[in-house]
Amino acid sequence: MELWFLGTSAGMPISGRNVTSVALRMPQNRGTFWMFDCGEGTQHQLLRTSFKLSRLEKLFITHLHGDHVFGLPGLLSSRSSLGGTEPLDLHGPQGLREFMETSFRISGTHLNYPLQIHEIVEGKVFEDEAFSVEAAKLDHRIESFGYRIAESPRAGALNTALLADMGVPSGPLYGKLKSGEDVSLEDGRIIRSSDVIGNPLPGRVIVVLGDTKPCASAIQLARGADLLVHEATFSHDLAIKADDYTHSTALQAAETAQAAGAKRLLITHFSSRYKPEDLSGLEAEARSAFPYTDAAIELRPYEIPLN
C-alpha cells in the first residue's frame, strides 16, 4: 500500500503545489485505489502518476469547502470518458449529493457507470472482508470528517520448523495448513492448522483527517495509527489565526499524533503563504513534538509497510 499526495495546498493552489487530494494505492490483489478529497486540478495531477481512473474504487470527501471538492465533477466525468464502467462509491457529508446532482444536471453530464453517493454520519461507513472505514466529526467551520481505514488482521505465520520436526513434507500440505485447512498424513495423523499457525498479524491503519482545529475526536480516530495525515495550515506563531479559522498549526498536528500514539505523521494543507522552501520549517516545528513527522511532498509515494 502507498499513499500519494496529489495536492498539499490550502485554499488555493500555488506554483508547485496543488489543492487537496490524496490517493491510496490498495494492496496488489485488490488492484484498485481510493481517494480522499478532490480539489481543482486533481485529475491533472493523476496524469503524472501511474494511477488509472478506471481503477478508482472509492472516493471519500472530508468536507465541502471548494479546495476539497471543486475537482470532483470533472474527475468523475473523465472516468466515464476513459472507459470506466465499474461502480464507484462516493462518501461524504450531507450536501454532497445535491452538489453532484446539480453539477451534472446543469452541465448535462452523463456517466457510463453507477455512481453510488453515500452521505455519511459518524461511525462505520464501509466494511468488507479486507478493510473497514470509520468516520468521525472534527472541529471545523463546516461539517468536516476524518476517516480511519483499518485493514483486517492477516493469518499468522506458518511454523515451518515445527512442521519439519513433525515430519510433514513441504509442498501442497503447507499451503492447505496456511489457508486454515486441517490435513491428514499417510501415517494417519491429522495436523490441525490451528496448532501450526501463529497468532493473527494486525492489519495496517491509515487515518486521513479533514480540516480541523485540535479536538478529542481527532486523537481518538488516530489512536495507534500506522500513518496519520493531518492538516498543518499554519506555523505555531499564527496559532490565534489558526484557531479563528478552525485550522491547526504544524505543532498542534504533532501533538495530536503524539497523544494518539500514532507511528508516523504526514502534515499537509499548507497555507499559500508558505512556499515550497518554507515547508522544512513547518516540518521542524512538528518534529519538536513528534519526531516521526514529514511534510508531505506531492507525487511522491509513501509506503505503508506490513506490520
d(CA 286, CA 137) in angstroms, rounded, equals 23
Q: Nine-digit cell at 77? A: 466525468
Of 37, 67, 187, 195, which residue is the catalytic one?
Answer: 67
Pairing assessment for the beta strands 205-209 and 145-151 based on DSSP bridges: antiparallel
Cβ-based burial of 76 (10 A; exposed 0-12, middle 13-18, buried ≥19): buried
d(CA 292, CA 290) in angstroms, rounded, equals 6
- What residues form the annotated binding site? 63, 65, 67-68, 140, 211, 269
- Angle at which helix 250-260 crosses helix 279-287, to 10 degrees, equals 40
Distance linking the first and last C-alpha atoms of the chain:
12
β strands within the chain, DSSP E = 2-7, 21-25, 33-36, 56-60, 88-92, 115-119, 123-127, 131-137, 145-151, 183-184, 190-191, 205-209, 227-231, 265-268, 293-295, 301-303
- What residues form the annotated binding site for Zn(2+)? 63, 65, 67-68, 140, 211, 269
Is 67 tagged catalytic? yes
Report, as residue numbers or ranges, the catalytic residues: 67
